[in-house]
Chains A and B, each alone.
Chain A
């Protein structure tokens, strides 16, 4: 195990209905600092469940998730502190509709990190500028387009200065013309060294940005490799079939 390991997942299982549904059936994975792991696979293969297990939005049935060496499935640890360090971006953005963009971004840093309003707002403004939304701080979420909402959701997560960002199909709810603007932001984050785990159907993004691509099916990892190996030289029939359908 090298020093750069941020997350280590050991034999992770998530069963529903007393084991009738095996959403995750023994996942082992390491995510290093600065890596961009893109998770692909057919619908229902357990990608969301896996991603959501990483910050315990889903409680695993068994297995371990070590973050910075600490097993977060241990009920005794304070999961809220760990979640502060693991930002999450959702398919449907989940911005708080009753708050301005600025409030969306400053609420958690102020309440949880004890930042002053000035500090939190300065940071938020800086991040909004990075995603080209510096003049929308006073807007409410429903005054923004889908692509803008998702860019805000990303920087909202960044305001907590997380060690890793988890993306669950961040562009799937967007109109096609807005997909690019969100992927561009994600690409920029990757270039800046952000550790990311991304569930997506955007194979172009996977090919270009991923340091590693993981192919899941039926709750297990079938193949994982560099993007070029996954896309040019798939080993398993399941991956070949999947790629034939999506490419």
Chain B
């Protein structure tokens, strides 16, 4: 017991090392929150392109060749984006973006936000597209038959329903992202994981700092999971 207390003292109290953990946690949260915002923005854009192509492409082809050509090109690039991002490890993407694309940048947190945002965007795109495709075709047809155009049907009728369907999944995406940011140390960012590792290197006692880091992730994930569960239940209750 007294050994544990001594360990705690060594790893967190001496040299105010707990501050590293707090700073690291702050960095982790900043990266995850901003990355998910970027991810949702990119994901929504990609999903709109992909589902418009799938659902409205034929119609557009007949009415406007130019717009259809543009949509086809956008859809093509969206597909490439999705393939590359989902086909390579996030840590490799992070390093490519940091060491090659933004070589020499001194704002490594911003680079991490961009990298994780780009990564998350691919997964969010598929979540949103899946949500759009899950809505009964009859809803589109009802909208169109009332005289709404494609965009109006999406905005007034489909998206509000999609939002309800995918909100829990989007929150889960944030939880995944929160854990994935733990590789940020590869580009020298002192996030929560890196902070624990740093303390371990200084005190030569791995147990306390690494378990502490693990517990902090675990508690955050458990809290968020519980919140998502509540959200799901309340959405289901409102679903009449």
Contacts and interface: CB of A to CB of B under 8 A. Distances in A.
B143 to A, nearest CB: 8
B161 A111 contact: no
Interface string A48-61: 00000001010100
A59 B62 contact: yes
B59 A59 contact: yes
Given A59-B59, A98-B161, A107-B156, A80 B145 contact: no
B148 A75 contact: no
B240 A142 contact: yes
A160 interface: yes
A112 B149 CA distance: 10
Given A92-B138, A98-B164, A140-B240, A75 B62 contact: yes
Q: How large is the interface on A (under 10, 10 to 19, 20 to 34, 35 or more residues)?
A: 20 to 34
B3 interface: no
Contacts of A84: 146-147
B239 A94 contact: no
A75 B145 CA distance: 17
A157 interface: yes
B161 A88 contact: no
A180 interface: no
A108 B161 CA distance: 17
B226 interface: no
B19 interface: no
A83 B141 contact: no
Given A75-B63, A97-B161, A140-B240, A108 B141 contact: no
Interface in B113-172: 136, 138-139, 141-142, 144-149, 152, 156-157, 160-161, 164
B147 A90 contact: no
B16 interface: no
A57 B141 contact: yes
B144 A57 contact: yes
Interface residues of B, number: 23
Contacts of A92: 138
Determine chain B's interface SS by DSSP, over half rule: helix
Contact of B58 (A57, A59, A90): A59
A126 to B, nearest CB: 18
Contacts of A107: 146, 156-157
A83 B144 contact: yes
A200 to B, nearest CB: 18
Interface in A130-163: 140-143, 156-157, 160
Given A94-B138, A140-B240, A88 B147 contact: no
B161 A112 contact: no
Interface string B51-62: 000000011001
Interface in A58-102: 59, 75, 80-81, 83-88, 90, 92, 94-98
B59 A108 contact: no
- B136, B147, B164: most-surrounded residue (chain A CB, <10 A): B147
A39 B156 CA distance: 33
Nearest to B135: A97
A160 B142 CA distance: 13
Contacts of A96: 139, 142, 157, 161
Contact of B146 (A83, A98, A140): A83
Nearest to B160: A98
Nearest to A104: B142
Given A98-B161, A98-B164, A111-B152, A90 B144 contact: no
A157 B145 CA distance: 9
Contact of B142 (A59, A94, A111, A142): A94
11 contacts: A75-B63, A80-B144, A83-B146, A83-B147, A88-B141, A88-B142, A94-B141, A95-B142, A96-B139, A98-B239, A112-B147
The 10 closest A-B pairs by CB, nearest first: A84-B147, A140-B240, A94-B142, A88-B145, A94-B138, A108-B146, A83-B147, A75-B63, A80-B149, A75-B62
Given A83-B146, A97-B240, A112-B146, 20 more contacts: A57-B144, A57-B145, A59-B58, A75-B63, A81-B147, A83-B147, A84-B146, A84-B147, A85-B147, A87-B145, A88-B142, A90-B141, A95-B142, A96-B157, A98-B161, A108-B146, A112-B148, A112-B152, A140-B240, A157-B145
Interface of A: 55, 57, 59, 75, 80-81, 83-88, 90, 92, 94-98, 107-108, 111-112, 140-143, 156-157, 160
Interface of B: 58-59, 62-63, 136, 138-139, 141-142, 144-149, 152, 156-157, 160-161, 164, 239-240
